[in-house]
Amino acid sequence: MTFQGSGPLDTSGVSAGGGGGGGRIAMGGGLGLVVTVVALLFGVNPGDIMGGSGSTGSQQVSADQSELQERIDSCTTIEQANSDDVCRLIATKNSLNDVWPTLMNGYTDPDMKIFSGSINTGCGAASSAMGPFYCPSDETAYFDPSFFQELTRMGGSDGPLAQEYVVAHEFGHHVENLTGVLAKGQRMGNDGSVRIELQADCLAGVWAQHADDGPDAMLAPLTDDQIASVIQTAKAIGDDTIQGSGSNPEGWTHGSARQRQRWFTTGYESGDPSRCDTFATDDL
DSSP structural state of residue 44: S
Which are the contacts of 135, defined by CB distance < 8 A and separation ≥ 6? Answer: 45, 46, 47, 121, 122, 123, 141, 142
* Three-state secondary structure call for residue 51: strand
User: CA Rg, the chain, in Å?
Assistant: 18
Which are the contacts of 273, defined by CB distance < 8 A and separation ≥ 6? Answer: 103, 104, 175, 203, 206, 267
Asked if the structure places residue 272 within a domain, the reply is yes
Give percent of the chain above pLDDT 70.
84
* Residue 20: pLDDT over 60: no
Residue-level pLDDT at 58 = 57
Position 206 confidence tier, pLDDT thresholds 50, 70, 90: very high
Residue-level pLDDT at 253 = 82
Asked if the structure places residue 3 within a domain, the reply is no
CB atoms within 10 A of CB 210: 18
CB atoms within 10 A of CB 97: 18
* Residue 146: pLDDT over 50: yes
* Residue 267: pLDDT over 90: yes
The pLDDT tens digits of the residues spanning 229-244 come to 999 999 998 888 888 7
CA torsion, points 229, 104, 172, 260, in degrees to nearest 10?
Answer: -50
Asked if the structure places residue 229 within a domain, the reply is yes
Distance CA 89, CA 114 (A): 9
Q: Pairing mode, if any, of strands 133-135 and 111-115?
A: unpaired
Distance CA 196, CA 227 (A): 22
Say which amino acid occupies 35: V
Total of domains in the chain: 1
Instruction: Choose among 21, 6, 28, 147: nearest CA to 89.
Output: 147
Q: What is the mean pLDDT of residues 2-11?
A: 94
Q: What is the mean pLDDT of residues 59-87?
A: 89
The overall average pLDDT reported for the chain is: 85
Q: CA angle at residue 36 from 228 to 115, to 5 degrees?
A: 70
* Residue 225: pLDDT over 90: yes
β-partners of residue 120 are 125
Asked if the structure places residue 7 within a domain, the reply is no
Which are the contacts of 280, defined by CB distance < 8 A and separation ≥ 6? Answer: none
Position 265 confidence tier, pLDDT thresholds 50, 70, 90: very high
Q: What is the mean pLDDT of residues 207-232?
A: 96
The pLDDT tens digits of the residues spanning 103-138 come to 999 999 999 999 998 889 988 888 888 889 999 999
Q: What is the mean pLDDT of residues 263-284?
A: 96
Residue-level pLDDT at 59 = 57
Q: CA angle at residue 18 from 13 to 20, to 5 degrees?
A: 120
* Residue 74: pLDDT over 80: yes
Distance CA 264, CA 165 (A): 9
Q: Pairing mode, if any, of strands 14-17 and 111-115?
A: parallel
* N- to C-terminal Cα separation, the chain: 33
Asked if the structure places residue 6 within a domain, the reply is no
CB atoms within 10 A of CB 28: 9
Asked if the structure places residue 9 within a domain, the reply is no
| Domain range enclosing 274 | 14-280
CA torsion, points 156, 194, 21, 114, in degrees to nearest 10?
Answer: 50
* Three-state secondary structure call for residue 134: strand
- Please tell me which residue, 26 or 195, carries the higher pLDDT value: 195
CB atoms within 10 A of CB 108: 12
Residue-level pLDDT at 62 = 67
